[in-house]
Chains A and B, each alone.
Chain A
Amino acid sequence: MARKGPAEFKGKLNGLYLNVDTNESYTRIMTHLKKILEESGAFYKGSKIIGLTGQRFTYKQKAEIEDLLSNQYGIEVESLEEEISEIRKNPEPEPVHVPEPANEPPPVFKESVIVHPKIADTKFVFGTLRSGNSVLYPGNVILIGDVNPGAEIIAEGNIVVMGRILGFVHAGSAGLESAIVVANLLKPTQIRIAKYISVPPNDDHSEHTLSPEMASVSNGIIKIEKCH
């Protein structure tokens, strides 16, 4: 059958599947498909395509494929509906844009996407972070628990801790200077917001209080103050 490439035909019980690479562009798939058919189109004549695996194509693209297969090579096309459960794994995904409507972010996030492309999502973490634990997230992080010394949270957005921060926190790690860190007790070993680094003084004897503390960057330094 077809050689290795971004597109191939796979035989199933009741017909053939058109199997394409998940990460390949439509144009390359078409080029490859044409090549296969040129070489061995006669072999496939009279057979029946019953589905498509690996990608979702637009109606226009499907129509093009159908036109190519049935009109030029006499291959019957029953369906080009995709079977997502059988996505073919590509070992080396290329960063090629594939028109996949399913993968676009839901329209709910559209507005925030414009402001900070990645800070739209928030991760909730439950439980205390102990020494050696680390939470890395390209968005906001909310922790229900403490951050012990030796533990770290690195977030591209804001960090909110319902508990004590005694370890290491880095908010706005991708450079967002307006990121903030909020916690019931903010006594980190080291705190970073965007490119700024700060070490709170040792003689700070603030205790757990009801009003949380907030760290933010103002005039190039990190300030820790009471919320409200």
Chain B
Amino acid sequence: MGESIVITSGKGGVGKTTTTANIGAALAMEGKKVVVIDADIGLRNLDLVLGLENRIVYDIVDVVTGVCRIKQALIKDKRFDNLYLLPAAQTKDKNAVNPEQMKDLIMDLKKTHDFVIVDCPAGIEQGFKNAISGADRAIVVTTPEISAVRDADRIIGLLEAAEIHDPLLIVNRLRIDMARRGDMMNVEDIEDILAIDLIGVVPDDEEVVMSTNRGEPAVFKENSLSGMAFRNVSKRLIGESVPFMEFDVQESFFNKLKRALSFGK
């Protein structure tokens, strides 16, 4: 029996879909059998990020309405044989599926896969309710902005109300230099407000933008910082303890000199 994890955030544009694709791919790299589900019916994106858009024949609505079998709708990833995508429908809306159907679907998928990762749509309406039904755990994605953190807080409350306890936190798109200078919220501030366990910090990385546009998750890039961060998240998910990355930004010569001088005093 596998485990189902919903990736949610409340606010849009914080990187839920990118996170889902990367964690899914990273878990597959670890040798797990993974299926990622796009629950954002009507605004599907996960297929794009994984570069599988043109392979879609059936979608999640076809599965729950019995048009096809689950197996027919699952799309095998180009790079990994043990990563599958269940795409959302584009021409329907969130009401095409109800929480009971999602629950049954995820239950079925859990029997044959190690991880079922659900990409939740933004918002707290029907789409959110569908996505979290059937989830064993939740990962809340936020960025270091007060609006995203506020929404994440609300989401954590809603998750608890839905009996999904102890959600995990990913701080995405952190700009280390800005956080250092105190111009941006840092990870400690966010942990302080949300008071849930941190499972990963993903730095702001141009590589993510580029790889997303190419349709291949950043985890495939060996030397990418964000890819590394997602690989660490997936390792923590399967129970390995991996130390958090030290984000050493290049210190300017002047700063180094200043530090050296003050140390000498």
Contact = CB atoms under 8 A, between A and B. Distances in A.
Nearest to A202: B54
B72 interface: no
Contacts of B91: 132-134, 152
Contact of A199 (B42, B44, B55, B90): B55
B187 interface: no
Query: DSSP majority for the B interface?
Result: loop
Nearest to A134: B91
Contact of B42 (A132, A152, A189): A132
Contact of A131 (B55, B57, B90): B90
A149 B57 CA distance: 15
Q: Which of B56, B57, B91 has the most C-beta atoms of chain A within 10 angstroms of its own C-beta?
A: B91
Interface in A175-210: 189-190, 197, 199
A132 B54 contact: no
A131 B44 CA distance: 10
Interface residues of B, number: 10
Interface in B16-55: 42-44, 53-55
A150 interface: yes
Interface in B52-86: 53-57
Nearest to A192: B57
A132 B57 contact: no
Interface in B80-99: 90-91
Contacts of B44: 150
Nearest to A152: B91
Query: DSSP majority for the A interface?
Result: loop
B42 A197 contact: no
B194 to A, nearest CB: 34
A199 B91 CA distance: 20
Interface in B142-187: none
A132 B56 contact: no
Nearest to B41: A132
A98 B42 CA distance: 41
A152 B44 CA distance: 14
A199 B78 CA distance: 14
A150 B90 contact: yes
B47 to A, nearest CB: 10
A190 B90 contact: no
A190 B56 contact: yes
B42 A190 contact: no
A152 B90 CA distance: 9
Interface in A87-135: 131-134
Contacts of A199: 54-55
Given A131-B90, A133-B91, A134-B91, A149 B53 contact: yes
B85 to A, nearest CB: 15
A197 B91 CA distance: 19
Interface in A133-157: 133-134, 149-150, 152
Given A132-B43, A152-B91, A199-B54, 6 more contacts: A131-B90, A132-B42, A134-B91, A189-B53, A190-B56, A197-B57
20 contacts: A131-B90, A132-B42, A132-B43, A132-B90, A132-B91, A133-B91, A134-B91, A149-B53, A150-B44, A150-B90, A152-B90, A152-B91, A189-B53, A189-B54, A190-B54, A190-B55, A190-B56, A197-B57, A199-B54, A199-B55
